[in-house]
Amino acid sequence: MAGQVQRQTGVALWRQIADRIRQAISAGAYDETGMVPPETLLAQQFGVNRHTVRSAIAALAQEGIVRAVQGRGTLIERKERLNFPITRRTRFTAGIGEQARAMRGLLLSHSEERADEEVARWLKLRAGAPVIRMETVRKADDRPVSCATAWFPAERFAGLPAVYEKTESITRAFADLGLSDYVRATTEITAAHADAADLAALELTPGAIVLITKAVNTDLEGVPVQYAITRFSADRVQFTIEN
Amino acid sequence: MAGQVQRQTGVALWRQIADRIRQAISAGAYDETGMVPPETLLAQQFGVNRHTVRSAIAALAQEGIVRAVQGRGTLIERKERLNFPITRRTRFTAGIGEQARAMRGLLLSHSEERADEEVARWLKLRAGAPVIRMETVRKADDRPVSCATAWFPAERFAGLPAVYEKTESITRAFADLGLSDYVRATTEITAAHADAADLAALELTPGAIVLITKAVNTDLEGVPVQYAITRFSADRVQFTIEN
DNA sequence: TATTATTTGTCCGTATGTATA
DNA sequence: ATATACATACGGACAAATAAT
């Protein structure tokens, strides 16, 4: 774990160190022992005081990632970074399914509104056309991995929110409404610091990073059926693209 | 720009505010006036003292994103985000080419070494096989957009660093060495805070976010020819995947 | 069983950075 | 520019729990 931490940057040392240790755990750096190196060693490696390392470990313990035991060391409790494949047949629930026991999609809120210019462009509707907007959070084993704002053509998918609430999956909700198959047309990926809404929805702490996708799904004729802006906790997921 | 900043989280308020303003600029929130709202208004919106907003704006000015002018306001100097398409025929220079006038790839350093387990796995070599490692930075109009560590099978691509230094492009360097075409096999995408090496190579300020790709290119027979870990400034780049 | 080394937990004090007024 | 409050970071000393000898 090379590379030093930086001082006087507006990001506390303990937070930089917590981010680095979390990353190292997720990369499998400590798989042999199942433990984080001793505080004194980490302090030496990062060039900081042991107390500063302790602050970082306390933050990771708060997240449930490690558990410090007096006299033994700091045990790794959870080591997760879900892999999310982005393909023509991208499916959230099925894509994550093998990596977690329970996948759930929860509906936070929904409304019917008129498409603004951006939504209309992606869904190939005229601006002002009626659309359904849904705010959702998806959880793997009760840990939130992403939150999304999604728009759907209102006429074609009347009643979608109620069906989604029951099925907890877009794929199954589409199937219930007569759309048996759909494909991913385009995906845009960016990254940013989590905003206040992300922090609440994803149970993150300020300074956390989110991977943001803007994606369009179409039916097999190429007609857009969904436009979604999804925000993933960067600590908990990675994307793969297979060509 | 709704949502409050958070205190006592290891991330200073001025940095949270700087990140939010940078994001708003990049999203086009102030395109009408070309200016950031007055400090007093921002302070009120974020619920902080005006001095704290001034610290945030000073950081953005240091990055060259805004310029504060006494008596006028805070002018937006730069507002950019390059689009980087990820396809089976991903080409850095050609992909960015239409969005910038001059694309350059600069060789920072190179060496011949033995493949560790990770590199060997991706390149489908045995561990310990000779590989060429190159550290590069790519710039669009003299602004760095990514830095990369790339590995190549040493026997097949002897002399690659010298050719790359001359051609400033992997595609052209491959062509010079007899590989006329190649394709992108897999791409993994994650995000993290920039480390010290990123800050230097990409001319970023501490706390900045990098998008990280791990990618393998193969020849047309599916034999791996390159494994690269590339780090993009998240403020300057977005990815698109077309299926 | 007792001893020792290792490792985390707690306490003191001091200096600097952050944020407000 | 000054004053105040709190968070961050450091340094040292010692206590408590665990594992190995």
Residue A160 tokens read as: 């979608």
Give Cα separations from A82 to A97, A238, B143, B165, B176 (angstroms): 10, 6, 33, 38, 40
Q: Among A3, A199, A241, whose Cβ lies nearest the Cβ of B186?
A: A241
CATH number at residue A63: 1.10.10.10
- Same domain membership, residue A207 and residue A97: yes
B-chain residues near A186 (CB < 8 A): 240-243
Does B109 share its domain with B214? yes
Q: Which nucleotides of D are covered by protein (CB under 7 A)?
A: 6-12, 16-19
In a shared domain, residues A52 and A114: no
Window B:109-168, CB contacts with A under 8 Å: none
C1'-nearest nucleotide to the CA of A50:
D10
**Residues B236 and B218 both lie in one domain:** yes
Q: Do A109 and A211 reside in the same domain of the chain?
A: yes
Inter-chain CB proximity B19 and A193 less than 8 Å:
yes
**B86 close contact with A: CB closer than 8 A:** yes
Same domain? B36 vs B130: no
What is the Cα–Cα distance from B172 to B178, expressed in whole angstroms? 10
Q: In the prediction, which pLDDT does A166 show?
A: 95
- Are A23 and B192 an interchain contact pair (Cβ–Cβ within 8 Å)? yes
Look up the pTM and report it: 0.77
- Residue, of A159 and B26, whose pLDDT is higher: A159
Whether A182 has its CB under 8 Å from any CB of chain B: the answer is no
> How far is C-alpha A30 from the chain's CA centre?
24
Q: Which residues of B touch A243 (CB under 8 A)?
A: 86-88, 90, 183-187
CATH of the domain at B172: 3.40.1410.10
* Boundary (domain end) residue, out of A76, A103, A128: A76
Assign 3-class secondary structure to B71-103: CCEEEECCCCCEEEEECCCCCHHHHHHCCCCCE
Q: Are residues A187 and A102 in the same domain?
A: yes
pLDDT tens track, chain B, 243 positions: 545 677 777 788 888 888 788 877 877 778 778 888 888 888 988 889 998 999 899 888 877 788 888 777 888 877 767 888 899 888 887 776 667 767 889 999 999 999 988 899 899 999 999 999 999 999 988 889 999 999 999 999 999 999 999 999 999 999 999 999 999 999 999 898 887 788 889 988 766 789 999 999 999 999 999 999 999 998 888 898 987
The distance (Å) linking the CA of A130 with the C1' of D8 is: 51
Domain of residue A44, residue span: 10-76
